[in-house]
A and B are shown apart, each in its own frame.
Chain A
């Protein structure tokens, strides 16, 4: 297995002025998996197609195992792609599909089919070799597609939202399968997805928004310390409060809120509060933490929890130099997560507390 390095790749589709990819760099160590997430239209699939050689690149380089593959056509790069649709060849049976790449490599029919059977076993489809591809369910087809990609035995595996067309349960079983495959074969994988849980399977996740990589790192880190506002919005679950940062504190209509030491943002900044870290307390607080008075406007379920939407009124304490444009008696909406069945009726008033310093972060105002 070899490493994949995509360096400074820029790309735009002919006939469009804006760049689909703008100086994007992503690296995947040998045997590791890196996921790329981003909203639709962010350029994720284009990035993958450029790496695969299916799309010409305006500039930048692609290296596999240190070797520049930029001038090579797709079939000669040491990588293989799996797409969102299984796209099985219907003139071949299941084993024939999986054996496709080995056959191209010169293996005899028997050899390649034997090899195919091994990979089918890996994806839990033993005994399916002679089946027609049309007789398979969606999940089975995707597994055959995975086996087919693995059977090509290339150094790098590129996965383009491979499980997004499957339902949640199937997707979960495919994630387990992917883990098994990674344990068995340790391929180098670049996974493009919009499913955050899927992205979290990787050692590191790159966030691609509007053709630019905003941040790359392990998923928990992205959740805790998003680098930019678009990243925070993509991951979701934050309440945003605009204001400024001075001396390690964020000033806004919420008051003065201290930030973690490793947050180095200064100047105009958006305070990000993870909603599961916020707490609702009765209007007269006993502890000294600053909070804001807020009124419940909406409740909605979220799995086994509830998300409470509250509207905050400005509190008294404001320095004159924290006056911002937003401070015209404006009300911000904050979302707090509470247990299902909590007694938080619409219209009731609460103080919103930010008890854990770890659930705060700030990003520069866009």
Chain B
């Protein structure tokens, strides 16, 4: 009977989401009505009364606004341009050198920002016009930036990984370390896509750089890129050597970003307010969904739906590989339509008990889920990274053309996911 209520709740949630009810409101409403129908209004009121405060009053969670602040500030202060210049100086000799530099700059900026949208927007604004004037196809230029943007959530700091770590109760640092491996592998796979395209389709990816494309010297490039390199080194170094907790790393990183931006004369009152408002609005939007997801987890626990699904899956005698492939398929489909935080938080209450029951490594699962959700950022019909790149730089490339150009990068992503499934130990190389 209660399991039926769980299924009804999940269906009601789906219906509300389709009707464009905000994810947080839908989760809270379904949880409240569901718990009230099973246990009565007293316990339902109790959960509504206590969950928001008890969820938000968390030290671990405070890493999220700190890393958001650091990323937004680094983005607005223009620290990325130095990284892009340096990448160009070092990599322009390669076939498709500008596109490879774009991927390298995206990876570098990912070490300062935890969001792939910020990554796509900031790199896209600089790299797309330069690639187009360097003879690259518009669609391919936009697709390169959109794919490179996904590194933002894979290479630490990553907001998605922090939220996963808190819900799954696993070390955020361990997920971050796994994220580095998968992020770097993804970047290399994108480079292979660019090199291959340069040999097959030199009309959209030039094999040689245009003469005079980059005249900047290595010393000048290093001087321009030092703030971003120093910041990333300090934050990630402090985090992985155990000097800082994630919150402390984010706070020190944010402080350094403000100080360096001020020192370079790039900090204005308007910009500071803009960065702060972006930080609080994003934090609130994510956390209120997380409050709803916490209530939904309680509701599913009461209905016994999670345990039922665990037993039902065991009864089907599916192999672990089949279960993983099913979960991969579900995330890929969700990623096509949903924003990553919404997709993550509505699925974790169902999937986490199943993964725990199977004895699968949670760190590996966390990195896999983040990778899958990031693939959703470049798949149609709702590929947020593609939309962002088109908005900031790709006005003359149609969405269809960009999505078509993204396909080779999706093949590379499929290869990375396959590697993770075949060799799960790679996520734990660093610990």
* Same assembly: no
Measuring CB to CB, which residues of chain A are less than 8 angstroms from any residue of chain B? none
